[in-house]
Amino acid sequence: MPVARPESSNSRVIAHIDMDCFYVQVEQRKQPILRGHPTAVVQYNSWKGGGLIAVSYEARKYGVKRSMRGDEAKKVCPDIQLVQVPVARGKADLTVYRNAGSEVVSVLSKKGRCERASIDEVYLDLTEAAETMLADNPPERLEVIGEEATKSHILGLHLDGADARDCVREWFLKKDADHRDKLLACGALIVAELRLEVLKETEFTCSAGIAHNKMLAKLASGMNKPSQQTIVPQSSVEKLLESLPVKKMKQLGGKLGTSLQVDLGVNTVGDLLKFSNQKLQELYGINTGTWLWNIARGVCGLEVEGRLLPKSHGSGKTFPGPQALETISSVKKWLHELCEELSDRLLSDLNQNKRIARTLTLHASAYKMNDSESIKKFPSKSCPLRYGVTKLQEDAMSLFNAGLGEYLGVYHVGKHQEWAITGLSISASKIVVIPSGTHSIMKYFCNQNQTSTQSNMLSDACTEDRESSDLHLADLKIDAYKNEAGTECCAPILNTSGPDAEETLKLDDNQAPHIYEVNHQRAGLAEEALLQCFGCENDMESKINQPKLNLAVPNRKSGKEKRKIEKGSSSILQFFSSQSQSLSSCSSSEHPHGIGSTFQGIGASVSGKLVQENHSSSLSGSSNGDGGWSYKSEEIDPTVLNELPLEIQEEVRAWLHPQKQPRRRGSDILHYFSPSTNK
C-alpha cells in the first residue's frame, strides 16, 4: 500500500507519463503503412465491425469514438483502417501490448523511481534527479532549453500575446523563480528528454504531466495530447481545481461524484472548499471525507511505488446479447479458457520475476431471466490462489457457484435458465516476490492448506479492480481493457456512452481512501491464509496480533540455541516453515543451485539443500556458522508425516533417516511440484 506523506514535505517532482492512443501505436509500429492514417483497434468480435477500443488522433478528428462499433466508425470516417486485436483462446490477447508497455517502462525507469500504473501509464518520482540538476546544473544557467521542453504547457503562465515558446523559455530560465517551480522546471527538462528517448527507442509517442504530486501529474498528462507535456506550478493549482468538473476526477466519475453533485451541489472540485473536513467526514466517512477535503486543495500524499511489474493479472470476457452464458457447463468451459490464460501468465511471472500470486478473485455480471427489474449485482468472490490450470478452474468454479448462490438466493439455485452471465473475469492478486531460497514444498503446504480451508475462505471480493466492481449489464460492451491499478487484463469493462463513462475506466492509484482500506482488509485475509499455511491455524488470536509474516526475514535463534519441535503439539507445517525461513536467510549464491531461473529451478535449490543436509541424523545447517539451527529427527512427531501424500512422506522419511529410506528414483519432490504434475 502506498505510503502517504504529510503535505508539508510535498515539494516533490512527480511525472505521469501516458502513452498516446497506445494500442493504435503498437499496431502502427507493426504496420508502418498505417502511420498518419485514421486508424482504430477493434475487439475481435466482428458484430457490426467490432467494438473500438483505441482510436488514433487522426480518426478522432472525424468524430470517431471508442464507444463506436466498426461499422459506425466507417460511416463517419470512410477511410478509417480497422485493425483487430490479436485473438487467443477465443478472446482478446493483449500480450503484444503488454510487452510494448514493458519496453517503454524500461526506458522511463532510468531516471527515478518508477511505478507502472497500467498497461500504458507510468508514474515517476523525479525529485532526486531534479534536486541534483538544480544543484549542479540549474536551468537558469543553461544557454539553450531543448526544443521539446519549450513546447511544454505551463498552467497559469500568462502569454499576453507573446510567443508561447518564448514565454516558456523565460519561465525555465527565471532566476528568481520559486524553489518549487525551479524543481518542476528541472523535472520538465528531464521528462522532455525521456519522452524523446522513448520515441527513439520504441517509436512510441507519449504525453506527460509534471507536478508536485501524483494526482496533479495525472490530471495534467491528459490535458495536452498527443506527444506534449504539461507542468502544474503550485500557484496554478487553486485555479485549476476551481473550474475542474468533479466528474473529471477519476475517482469521482461514479456514485461519489453524483452524490457530490446531487446532494451537495458540488460541481467543480473547487466547490468542495466550502465544506469543512468535519462535515465531509460526517457525510462520507473519515477516510473519504478527508480525501475529498485534501483533493479540493490539490493535496495528495501518495508515494510513487517502485514497481515495474503489474500488481495483479486478470483474464476476462464479455458475452453480450445472445452470447450470454445460460448453463453451468458453458460457464465452466469459459472459466477453463480464462484459467488457462491466467495460469500461463502466472507461470511466466513466476519464471521471469520469481513472483507468486496469493489471491484469486472471480467477478461476473449477470441478469435474471423474468426479472428485468432486478438490479442486484453478481457478488465478486475471492479465495487463496492455487497454481495449475485444474486447481484454478476448480476454485474459480467454486467461487462462481458461491457467487451465483448469493446472487439468486438459495431457493433459486439449480433452477435451469433463471440466470444469464454477460461477463466473466478472474484475477490473481496479492503478488509477492519469492524470497531467495524458498522452495516449492512451501507452495505445496500452501496449496494443501488452501484446499482444506478453502470453503471457509470464500469471501466477498473487494473493489480492487474498480472496473469490475462497477460492472453493470448495460455497460458491458468490450472486453479488452486496462486496469489503472496495475492489472493488465482483458475483462469486462464498463463503457462508454460518453466522456464521463470513459473517464470512469481510468482509475488511478490516487483512489479514494476507502478503497485502500478495503484492500488492506483483503491483505489481512491473504495474510491469514498464509499464516495458516505455516501451521498457525489453531491460533487465530495470536495471528491477529502478530506482525505480518515476512518470509524474507529469517527467524533464526541466536547463538547456539536450538529450536525444538515439541511432540504432539508441533506440526510438519511449522517444521517446514522454519526450514524455509532458515533457508531464506542464505543468499542464492550460498546455495549450490541458487534460485533457479525456472519453476523447477526453485525446487532444485531446495532439493539440493535438503539432500545435502541429509547426511546427519538430525536436520541441521548453518550457512555461516553463526547460531546454527537444527532439528533432531526423533523430535518430529511421526504422525504428522501421515498427513502428507505417500510419495512426499517417503521422501521426507528419507531425509530424516537416510540409511533406512534411500531415495526412490523417479519420485522426487521436484517432480511432484513441477507444473505439469500440478495440472
Helix H, strand E, coil C: the string for 262-296 is HHHCCCEHHHHHHCCHHHHHHHHCHHHHHHHHHHH
Tell me if residue 142 falls in helix, strand or coil: coil
Q: Residues 27, 58, 115, 121: which is the catalytic one?
A: 121
Q: What is the grid cell recorded at 84?
A: 483487430
- CB 490, min distance to ligand TTP, A: 7
**Whose Cβ is closer to ligand TTP: residue 81's or residue 577's?**
81
Which of the ranges 19-27, 285-293, 309-317, 646-654 carries the binding residues for ligand TTP, by CB under 6 A? Answer: 19-27
**Whose Cβ is closer to ligand TTP: residue 312's or residue 382's?**
312
With residue 456 as reference, give the H or E element that holds it: helix 440-457
Rounded distance, CA 127 to CA 178, Å?
Answer: 16
Which of the ranges 18-26, 134-142, 158-166, 193-201 carries the binding residues for ligand TTP, by CB under 6 A? Answer: 18-26
Query: For residue 245, what are the β-bridge partners?
Result: 268
Select from 185, 217, 493, 530 the one that contacts ligand TTP (CB under 6 A).
Answer: 493
**Whose Cβ is closer to ligand TTP: residue 447's or residue 483's?**
483
- CB 283, min distance to ligand TTP, A: 30
Select from 183, 350, 505, 515 the one that contacts ligand TTP (CB under 6 A).
Answer: 505
Q: Are 304 and 123 in contact (CB under 8 A)?
A: yes
Q: Which of residues 304-333 bind ligand TTP (CB under 6 A)?
A: none
Select from 12, 15, 17, 22 the one that contacts ligand TTP (CB under 6 A).
Answer: 22
What Rg do the C-alpha atoms of the chain give, in angstroms?
28
Q: Which of residues 378-437 bind ligand TTP (CB under 6 A)?
A: none
Q: Are 316 and 400 in contact (CB under 8 A)?
A: no
Rounded distance, CA 380 to CA 376, Å?
Answer: 12
Residue of minimal Cβ distance to ligand TTP: 54
User: Quick check: 67 binds ligand TTP (CB under 6 A)?
Assistant: no
Phi, psi of 53 (to 5 degrees): -115, -15
- Pairing between β-strand 81-84 and β-strand 229-231 as defined by DSSP bridges: unpaired
User: Quick check: 148 binds ligand TTP (CB under 6 A)?
Assistant: no
User: Quick check: 472 binds ligand TTP (CB under 6 A)?
Assistant: no
Cα 25-254-217 angle, rounded to 5 deg: 50
Select from 114, 480, 604, 644 the one that contacts ligand TTP (CB under 6 A).
Answer: 480
Rounded distance, CA 399 to CA 385, Å?
Answer: 11
User: Quick check: 487 binds ligand TTP (CB under 6 A)?
Assistant: no
**Whose Cβ is closer to ligand TTP: residue 284's or residue 481's?**
481
User: Quick check: 17 binds ligand TTP (CB under 6 A)?
Assistant: no
User: Quick check: 59 binds ligand TTP (CB under 6 A)?
Assistant: no
- Pairing between β-strand 313-318 and β-strand 14-19 as defined by DSSP bridges: unpaired
Which of the ranges 183-191, 267-275, 474-482, 586-594 carries the binding residues for ligand TTP, by CB under 6 A? Answer: 474-482
**Whose Cβ is closer to ligand TTP: residue 228's or residue 294's?**
228
- CB 326, min distance to ligand TTP, A: 26
User: Quick check: 149 binds ligand TTP (CB under 6 A)?
Assistant: no
User: Quick check: 91 binds ligand TTP (CB under 6 A)?
Assistant: no
* CB-CB neighbours of 262 under 10 Å: 9
**Whose Cβ is closer to ligand TTP: residue 253's or residue 270's?**
253
* CB-CB neighbours of 625 under 10 Å: 6
**Whose Cβ is closer to ligand TTP: residue 41's or residue 299's?**
41
**Rounded to 5, what percent of the chain is helix, strand, coil?**
50, 15, 35
User: Quick check: 442 binds ligand TTP (CB under 6 A)?
Assistant: no
Q: List, as one string, the DSSP characters of 563-606.
A: ----TTT--HHHHHHHHHHHHHTS-GGGSSS-S-SSHHHHHHHH
User: Quick check: 64 binds ligand TTP (CB under 6 A)?
Assistant: no
Contacts of 349 (CB under 8 A, 6+ apart): 309, 313, 355, 356, 357, 431
User: Quick check: 669 binds ligand TTP (CB under 6 A)?
Assistant: no
Query: For residue 52, what are the β-bridge partners?
Result: 42
Which of the ranges 12-20, 430-438, 518-526, 646-654 carries the binding residues for ligand TTP, by CB under 6 A? Answer: 12-20
Rounded distance, CA 121 to CA 208, Å?
Answer: 10
Select from 393, 495, 584, 600 the one that contacts ligand TTP (CB under 6 A).
Answer: 495
- Pairing between β-strand 52-55 and β-strand 419-433 as defined by DSSP bridges: unpaired
Q: Are 117 and 484 in contact (CB under 8 A)?
A: yes
Contact mark string toward ligand TTP, 618..647, x via CB under 6 A: ------------------------------
User: Quick check: 82 binds ligand TTP (CB under 6 A)?
Assistant: no
User: Quick check: 509 binds ligand TTP (CB under 6 A)?
Assistant: no
Contacts of 18 (CB under 8 A, 6+ apart): 120, 121, 206, 207, 208, 221, 222, 225
- CB 126, min distance to ligand TTP, A: 21
Max Cα distance, the chain (Å): 92
Q: Which of residues 186-225 bind ligand TTP (CB under 6 A)?
A: 225
Number of residues that bind ligand TTP (CB under 6 A): 19
User: Quick check: 168 binds ligand TTP (CB under 6 A)?
Assistant: no
Rounded distance, CA 367 to CA 86, Å?
Answer: 29
Select from 180, 368, 506, 556 the one that contacts ligand TTP (CB under 6 A).
Answer: 506
User: Quick check: 19 binds ligand TTP (CB under 6 A)?
Assistant: yes
- CB 52, min distance to ligand TTP, A: 9
- CB 69, min distance to ligand TTP, A: 14
Known active-site residue 121:
yes
**Whose Cβ is closer to ligand TTP: residue 18's or residue 668's?**
18
* CB-CB neighbours of 215 under 10 Å: 26
User: Quick check: 40 binds ligand TTP (CB under 6 A)?
Assistant: no
Q: Which of residues 220-259 bind ligand TTP (CB under 6 A)?
A: 225-226
Q: Which of residues 115-144 bind ligand TTP (CB under 6 A)?
A: 119-120
Is the peptide bond between 226 and the residue preceding it cis, with omega within 30 degrees of 0?
yes
Q: Write the DSSP symbol of residue 154.
A: E
Question: CA dihedral defined by 278, 280, 282, 283, rounded to 10 degrees?
Answer: 170
Residues forming contacts to ligand TTP in the complex (CB under 6 A) are: 18-23, 53-54, 119-120, 225-226, 480-482, 493, 495, 505-506
Give me the active site residues, please: 121
